[in-house]
Amino acid sequence: MLLVLAACAAPVSDLPAAQDTARGDTGADDTATDTGPTGPDVPPPALTASEVGAALDVALAGEIPTFPEAIGAFSALMALGVGCTPDDRFFKILDPEGCLAPSGVTYSGAGGAVGGWDDAGEVYTYELRGDLVIIDAAGVPYEMGGDIDTVVTPYVGGLAFSQQFLGTFRYPAAPTWLGRGTSGSAWIEADIGDDGALVAQVDGGYDLGGASVYFDALTVGGACGSAPTGAIRLRDMSGYWYVFTYGPECDTCGDVAYAGDSLGAACVDPTAAMAGIGEAVRTWMSDHPVVTE
């Protein structure tokens, strides 16, 4: 009978919802003394619109993470792994004690980096993937949980670049973003011109120097030319988000909203951070030219 009863029950979403009752009403009868929840009340914003803009400027000053630094540091450490990393590309060391190489570097976990030009020399791909920690000879750990996938396709006059960045990467001995460490789930698509022209779009989130930032189609070189379009979110420590959205004027300014309400205008210039993407890729590729037989 229970099945029959359940079958003819209304969908839960059709039943009286908690939200239909007054705040804090947990369904008590008339005699109840209800001390149940009375929230959540969205706390007032901790930042003004201009402070949000300034915070985003600071976050973006630390550059947007790209693959070269992560792979470069990993490859350098792998090169010191004689006795632990036989092919210099992968290792899988399940012993929690790790493997101590004569170089003084300790390897633990599993991961690797593989990539290069395809046979035709037309597409360059690289993947770094790891669930590992490598402790360098100075005792500094390179902690990794995730993967970075990169595809670079040269064309006449530039490079088409895409990157998927997923996971946590931290190596305090490295300069820039890897040294500070980051966690992210983000995607970049870019056309990087040899002449410095850049069309780039970033989607997804990064922890940038302790600030949680999320890009919604942040684009330069698009509809507004060199001026940015799209939006950038900044998370308040309360758990709510500020949303900075570029306006139609094609400048670096836009509106800041918090919990759906506008806080006013602010300006955020991502040009340098976006240019850094192009510069990092261009430098890496110049160091890894196509090899023809």
Residues that bind other proteins (CB under 8 A): 1-21, 23-29, 31-37, 39-40, 42, 96, 131, 143-147, 166-168, 170, 183-185, 204-207, 212-214, 216, 233, 235, 237-241, 259
Smallest gap from residue 206 Cβ to other proteins (A): 6
CB of residue 65 to other proteins, shortest distance in Å: 11
Comparison of 158 and 184: residue with beta carbon closer to other proteins: 184
Shortest Å, Cβ 260 to other proteins? 9
Cα-to-chain-centroid distance, residue 123: 24
Sign of CA dihedral 245, 272, 158, 177: negative
Assigned token pair, 10:
């209304």
In the complex, least distance from residue 261 CB atom to other proteins, rounded to whole angstroms = 12
Nearer to other proteins, 5 or 156 (CB): 5
**Cα(71)–Cα(252) distance, rounded to whole angstroms?**
32
Calpha distance 177→208 (Å, rounded): 8
Structure tokens of 24? 């804090």
How many angstroms separate the CA atoms of 199 and 213, rounded? 21
Rounded to 5°, the CA angle 178-102-105 comes to 15
Closer to other proteins by CB, 13 or 286: give it. 13
Q: How many CB atoms within 10 Å of residue 176?
A: 13
Q: How far is the CB of 159 from other proteins (least distance, A)?
A: 26
Of 139 and 239, which has the nearer Cβ to other proteins? Answer: 239
Interatomic CA distance for residues 245 and 233, integer angstroms = 8
Cβ closer to other proteins: 2 or 120?
2
The CA distance from 18 to 36, in Å, is 12
Tell me the closest approach of the beta carbon of residue 66 to other proteins, in angstroms: 16
- At closest approach, how far in Å is the CB of 176 from other proteins? 18
211-220 and 141-155 strand pairing: unpaired
From the centroid of its chain, how far is CA 136? 25
Rounded CA gap, 224 and 12, in Å? 47
Distance (Å, whole) CA 167 – CA 151: 18
